[in-house]
Structure 1
Amino acid sequence: MKAAVLKSFGSPLAIENVPEPVLGTGEVIVDVVATRVLSYMNEVFDGTRNYALDLPIIPGPGGIGRVRAIGPDATKLVVGNWVFCDPTVRSRDDAVAPDIALQGLTAAGPGGMRLQQHFRHGSFAEQMRVPTENVKRIGTITSEEATQWCALGTLLVPYGGFLAANLQAGETVLVSGATGNFGSAAVSVALAMGAACVVAPGRNEAILADLVRRFGSRVKPIRLTGVEDDDRDSMKRAASGPIDCVFDIMPPSVSTNVVRAAVMTVRPYGRVVLMGGVGMAGGAGLDLPYPWIMRNCISIHGVWMYPPDAASRLIALVRAGLLRLDEYQATTFDLDHANAAVEHAAAHGGPFKLTVIRP
């Protein structure tokens, strides 16, 4: 089969023929129809992000495809089913604290690297092998619709954060990083889950205005000034009431002052979700006042990805019409032009934009 292979950091993907994946027990083989290209994949491939990858590897986190072959432990899947391939692979021998690898992208710790050594190859290929539990049926779609269904991979990240925070319908949410790719997805997911109000701070006024245009008056845009106390007061005033949940998805380049200003808008007994990259590129970590956390009974959730059932639940939100995939505008490439797709994704990231490879 044809695949795009990363052989060394800093080198372009090699488009070549590789052996087809071999089915094992507890696994499914999927014919990949469409797979998204992350906006920062170029930084993964050149080593800037220092992701844990055992090279050579076929990259690509998740994708949309059709079931080609199933193992003996699959009782619901049928060959030909349209499915989402969830890239969050978990070890099966510790339900309390499983090791995790993101198939085709990275791994966490020695246990995650052991997972990657088996489920190493991702979706930049004509076929991929996936753990049975990571194959989620999405119902009948057309081949053309598979492109927009790739947005699931983006939307799942904030959905996992809101599930961890137990977001309830009618609550007020603040999304720190609302003008970014994952942040704008968080705005749409929070509204789909029934948030009464989403405070959306940012510096890009055009994107803030676009969020209001897309989702209406439940979005409360706030232009950040960089002055921590002033920004915190502005965010609080914009909310229709106390802020129940703060969701942070800021990238590594952002100052901790900006993150802290948002986090400390949350009400007493409120919840904070940290899913961003602050501190991952070095520099100071996030400093929060111990007395403020303790005396206000603040719950802080560090969340990496999402629980195993999140993809199926998010698919149900899409099927119910509560979450719209047609918000996303996609540019597609074939597998032969995978390197061009990576360049395009880096140059054209941002809210509601997809770069997709269709093998």
Structure 2
Amino acid sequence: MVHTLQADGVTFEDVLAELAERRVEFREQRYVPKDFIARLKELGIYRAATPTRFGGQPLAPADFLRRIERISAVDGSTGWVASFGSALVYLAALPLETQAEIYRDGPDVAFAGGLFPVQPAEPTETGFLVDGRWKFASGCMGADVLGVGIPGDETTAGKPRTAVLRPEQVEIVQEWDVVGMRGTGSFDLVVRGAEVPREWTFIRGGTPTVDEPLYRYPTIAYAAQVLAVVGAGVARAALDHAEEVGAGYAGVTGAPKLADRPYYRTAVAGAEAALRSARAWFYEVSNEVWETVLAGDEATDEQNAQLRLSSAHLAKTSSDVVAGLLEVSGTAPINTGHPLQLLHGDALVPKQHAFLGPSMYDAAGAVLMGMPPTTPGFR
């Protein structure tokens, strides 16, 4: 069964309007605060991947992706943080008893992780002694539970584990000075000598203990999709800006306004076509795979490759769209506070992510031709 997000007395538009007023605040402080995470929880973002058995309202991936895209069109950083509402699919690989404890106070749980670099963890009688420092824990300032990467063993087929901790067990070091997605709070996590029970660890993308459709959808591919669609939202914001200002902006030299310049009209139209085409394929593949899962079948290797490829393509297309609009917009975008300059930085981040980089084209191409993927963790 597919649920829609419900929020008593709160509309999506209300929250987006508040976000538009506060996005500068988030950018300047470099993270989305807990009070706004609470607003996203009211919308159901952080129960959209919680198992139904624990009170969740699991959404079809495409439905969740569209919500993240809308948030990202207002603020890419908040869209990026909200996208990790999907990360609860990882926790479905934990023992059911552990999940019951995580959701004890309700289904709206924000999970953030700093999984790399994987840090050594000494085995103990009941689990692992975790100690180290991890990078890129996006959304950690508003998280209810946190994950860090530790080595795997013979029982994990060599894949690393993630150890799940409570915020009070973790120190957050606010190092995050970047040109894009400045408000994601992708800070470092430091853990000193915390013993984590084995049943509070999982393999990312490991076999779920929950038998519901969402947890049969390819997990790592979904993780790539939720980041790629942030770029699409950012590109949509750039196109909306370009189309709105084109009719009114004239350069200081007295040259025709932007909309009167053929190259500008051509660039905007081409960008519109490119983004809409990449989005259409992206959502088409997602819907196809979801129908396969709902029918009780496992997604094929080719379907997984299509998910990965369409995600990488959307991330690249979105970045290219913003860069192209900036190029034809005259001298105005050279100002550091110009909307296109800020959006350009935000659009760059998804494309640079390991899940969405150039290697995905090679790996997907290999699978589509009947060969093994060339990138670890492709599925």
* Pair in the same fold by TM > 0.5: no
Q: State which structure, 1 or 2, has the greater radius of gyration over its C-alpha atoms.
A: 2
User: Whose helix fraction is larger, Structure 1's or Structure 2's?
Assistant: 2
TM-score by length of 1: 0.26
TM-score by length of 2: 0.25
